[in-house]
Structure 1
Amino acid sequence: MTNGHLDIIRRGSKLVDHLVIGVATNPSKDPLFSLDERVKMVRAETAELAQNCAAKITVEPFDDLLMAFAETIGAVIIIRGLRAVSDFEYEFQMAGMNAFLNPDVETVFLMADAKYQPIASKLVKEIASYGGRIDQFIPKRVAHAVRAQIADRRRRKAAP
């Protein structure tokens, strides 16, 4: 979870009465953390916001198509963050496919704040793997967990 994700969550919570943050498995990515660990992190990082905003905020794992998840929770909109033109091309295509799957669920795009636009979790992971500073990109608790997980992976690789 990056500071950009938190920004979109903060801003998205102003648009709805109930914001469900779906944390997905994604076979095309190599996450540092299990789905359960990522859900716990997102819950921890959004707990204060959830207490201090008008919207109800919940965090739910899912291992299905996004539209199937949206239908299961009764969602009427999906909020997606955009950082760059390349994000838009992919997200636009996904929104079109999702509209075919369920035309009753709208996709709303929020542009990332300019200070968060270059932040990508993949790049944060790469910086961390080389021992670089990541605290300015992700919440402190998450940064600590990322560094610990990378160190643990190194130890396991080095072990005979």
Structure 2
Amino acid sequence: MTTALYAGSFDPATYGHLDVIERASRLFGTLVVAIGIHHEKKGEFDAAEREAMLRELVVPIAGRTGGRIEVVTFADLVVDIARRHGARVLVRGIRNSSDLDVEVGMAGMNAVLAPEIDTIYFGASSGVRHVASSLVKQIARLGGDITAFVPPQVADKLRARYPAG
């Protein structure tokens, strides 16, 4: 079976991310969920926190799909982490035309760097098309209800960060 890699910051993981993970897990024997670490960017959650959250969140997905899901971190090129894990496919989620413009450019660059690795796009499911991690964090900072956008354990961690809103 083919191994695929789904890379992102997952800061935090949202229902949109989990939708892509579940759908990709149904299609590929192994799905590697790769958390990108950018040392110039300060994330809401550090790499260890994001990794722990995702490991917990993918367990029920793997149970439903019967797929193997691994969670890893990386700080280099996505094609390099894909090669290290034997991934032949990069999975990307597309919410709207702006995402598509960015993703097509990245896929083109990755195709030059690693022509043996293909990119597959998953259009966001209608129920999560509007969900963006940056907006979830903003709502949490302002004390808004984020339960429709992230799993309960993620919402709890964000509320702990911003108890007063």
Tell me whether the two structures share a fold, i.e. TM-score over 0.5.
Answer: yes
2:132 aligned partner, one-letter code: A
Q: 2:132 aligns with which of 117, 120, 128?
A: 120
Distance in structure 2 (CA, Å) of the matches to 1:138 and 1:99: 32
1:73 aligned to 2:73?
no
Which of the numbers 24, 27, 36 marks the counterpart of 1:15? 27
Q: Distance in 1 between matches of 2:138 and 2:154?
A: 15
- Distance in structure 1 (CA, Å) of the matches to 2:42 and 2:122: 26
Alignment match, 2:148: 136
**CA-to-aligned-CA distance 1:46-105 (integer Å, 9 cap, x gap):** 111123322111111111110111111110001110001000000000000000000000
Q: What's the C-alpha RMSD, in Å, of the aligned pairs? A: 1.5
Number of matched pairs = 153
Conserved 8 A contact 1:32-1:149: no
Query: Which segments of structure 1 move beyond 4 Å, counting only runs of 4 or more?
Result: none
| Cα separation, 2, equivalents of 1:133 and 1:29 | 26
Change (3 A) 1:133 1:28: farther
Measure the CA separation in 1 of the matches of 2:39 and 2:103.
18
For structure 2, list consecutive stretches of 5 or more residues without a partner in the other structure: 1-12
Q: Distance in 2 between matches of 1:113 and 1:121?
A: 16
Deviations 1:112-146 (A, max 9, x none): 00111111000000011000000100000000001
Residues 37-56 of structure 1 aligned to structure 2 (within 5 Å):
37-56=49-68
Percent sequence identity is 38
Which consecutive residues of structure 1, in runs of 5 or more, have no partner in the other structure?
A: 155-160
CA distance in 2, matches of 1:31, 1:59: 18
Matched, 1:110 2:114: no
Q: TM-score, normalised by structure 1?
A: 0.91
Note the C-alpha offset of 1:28. 6.1
Identify the structure with the greater helix proportion.
1
SS at match of 2:26: coil
Larger radius of gyration: 1
Q: Which residue of 2 aligns with 1:145?
A: 157
